[in-house]
Structure 1
Amino acid sequence: MEEKNNPGPQTTESISLLPLLAVNFIGTLGFSIVLPFLVFLVDRLGGNAFIYGLASSMYPAFQLIGAPILGRWSDIYGRKKILFLSQLGTLLSWIIFLGALFLPVATLFEVDSKILGAFTFTLPLAVLFFARAFDGLTGGNVSVANAYLADITLEKDRNRNFGKMSISSNLGFIIGPALAGILSVTKYGDGAPVLGAIIISLIGAVLILYYIPENKECSLREPEDSGNIRKFFGYEIKECRTTEEKRKPTFGEVLKLPNIPYMLVLYFLIFLGFNIFYTAFPLHAIAVLDWNIVQMGVYFTILSALLIIVQGPVLSRASKKYSDATLITFGSLMLGTNFLLLIPGNLFLTYLATGFFALGDGLMWPSFLSLLSKTAGKDYQGTVQGFASSFGGLASIAGLILGGLLYEVLAGSSFLIAGIVIYIVFLLNFRLKHFEKEIQS
């Protein structure tokens, strides 16, 4: 009955949301398909824990540069065009990644350090670094997709729809690692999952081109160099059909928006804790749990399946009873506990931790994105989401590199650091109740 009372927004959502979810799923699938074997590949090509963390940090490091630009462009030129541009970058990056596997393992330089450990930096590693960097530079698809979703849904539906986006991502994480485990044991070895990522990225580009409608074809304010931009991209900037002239905010102006700086700090800390885990866990799984690629794929598949359960029926029911701030606070408590359960290196506790991870992340992250979009307001979704992605990228760089270094020194105790970071987030989240009251007033 509620859908019949809101025919306008629901019609827009029915046209746009499913293709957007499909693109989000495909993007995650293309990434997660190489997640289980990347640590093994880096080791085979001469790297160690530090190099694995550094290689993983290439994407967020260059996303730090690209995401704000792409976010602003999406506010000016439309979400679809920038999503397509980003997807093409991902496709090309996987092609470069595949090429790295066929290069001779020629030594460029060697390092033997007490802090960084011993490793050999080879030619394929250098090309792999470049591929991840290029993907990051054009990797604004997440922030643009979040802005697109915020454009086409009412505020009351954002928690639920960001939950749907998270479900589509986690479906990719379910199928990707499982598919990687299957493909990696074929005669094509490492090349099979990467080729799969190429095909998946190509399908994503086609979906964006033909099935996602443009929802914003106007400029907030025509920039002075718009002629050069039009010439470069081959299309005109369309003026907004509004009586009030608006313009894109600078970073300084974004920081002056009410409560946005506080939300960006939380965004940074959440990503910091996550990425310490993302680097340390594969190293921990190999060194302590003695896992192979297939076992790694099974773990991430189970984790993602649990996340879908939480972000589907559990979040749907919880969001009707509890506010975004409440779900964010409770979720961060569960997520921090998950990291502590990983420290002993016990198989039972490791899989028990997946339940805490799913409950924590599944309730916290969609609710956080929902509250961030409400706090940003409708006028600057792309810009704020782009800067948020940059804060996340900065935290990812620090977390991924720090995760490798911490595991070299502390082994499983590195998860304690990730847990402490998320517990700090838990304490800071109590202020979010006040933010919600300001939005509602």
Structure 2
Amino acid sequence: MSVSDNDAPALLRRLFDVAVAAADPADVLARHLPKKPSGRCIVVGAGKSAASMARAVEAAWPDVDLSGVVVTRYGHAVPTTRIAVREAAHPVPDAAGEVAAREILAAVASAGPNDLVLTLISGGGSALMTLPREPLTLDDLIIVNRLLLRSGLTIEDMNRVRRRLDRLKGGGLLRAANGAQLVTLAISDVPGDDPAAIASGPTVPDPSATDDLSHLAERLGPNLPEAARALMLAPGDAQPNATPDFRLIAAPQISLETAAAAARAAGVVPLILGDALEGEARELGIVMAGIARAVAAHGTPQPAPAVLLSGGETTVTIGDTEPGRGGRNTEFLLGLACALQGHPRIHALAGDTDGIDGTEDAAGALVGPDTLRCAREAGCDPRRMLAAHDSYSLFDRIGALIRTGPTLTNVNDFRAVLVL
């Protein structure tokens, strides 16, 4: 089977769709459930997939005494009958997230010795379930989150900060369970699938509880609230002694492998470059362009037709100027397109598997040999817009955005660079 230039966008979209489907809680959650409890099952959770995960639990356990509450992003709720669903803001927390966090804490604390606390965790939970450590206020945490988003810090360092400043992160729910059985089902959106990093680890001990975070406080600058700075310079909360029962039900590598199988079925050789790629989005675009050029020119590391697959979470460091509209996936793609300069055999797609790239209404976009030409015909200067972090606007003008709406799952970014 051969793939033509005209087939490329449809094939790339197919790979993205199967990657997302591989992380659908409706299909994957039930097989990871523990033994049914003799008492109640108290379900709590936070993240962009929390509501769809709660619905999957209800479908799998119609005969279990279920109750509880989960919090998800605005627009990501789905109908449930026994588990309450709350909505809150992401990526910057709001008061609704704090109210939901208190409900979740109370539900966990009510568990008895015969009850099961089933915790549903997915990406986005760090912002959605927010309970500031005293004397920090919600307003303080909002400022911290905005600073983190502009900082260029890795997700690992961001989570070190979040765990230090929040009562529920870094094992807070595990402490609240008071010895009741607690099982976590998680969908990973972080490099390496570290349980302490997914939603900042509310059900696992904080591995950085005694770390010196002064260098991170310095990195966040003079606008860091003094209460936050003081907490970052002090040790974290005492760590729970319990051993967590933590079950990963979906992860970036699983989705990449599913997409790879779909590529092979289409007659294209997949190369999975990694599920945990990090760094500046535009710089990764340049690197990927170089690898794709090597495939096209020299057949290394694999002759064409081939597709380079990768996942992970890049960063976009914003300077002092007000940025345009964009997310890390469209910025990656614009960096890639500028580096490729209209290469006739290379196409690409990048998108966030939750359906939302940054704070925009698109999951990502498509790039082809004609991307730069179409952009200039639409009155866009690609390099200037890349410098202004205005990638969304460019792809919107040329009709290359991918809009899926909320997918109700989240295994982080998906990137596919196709060389024909």
**TM-score under structure 2 normalisation?**
0.27
Structure showing the higher strand proportion among its residues:
2
Structure showing the higher helix proportion among its residues:
1
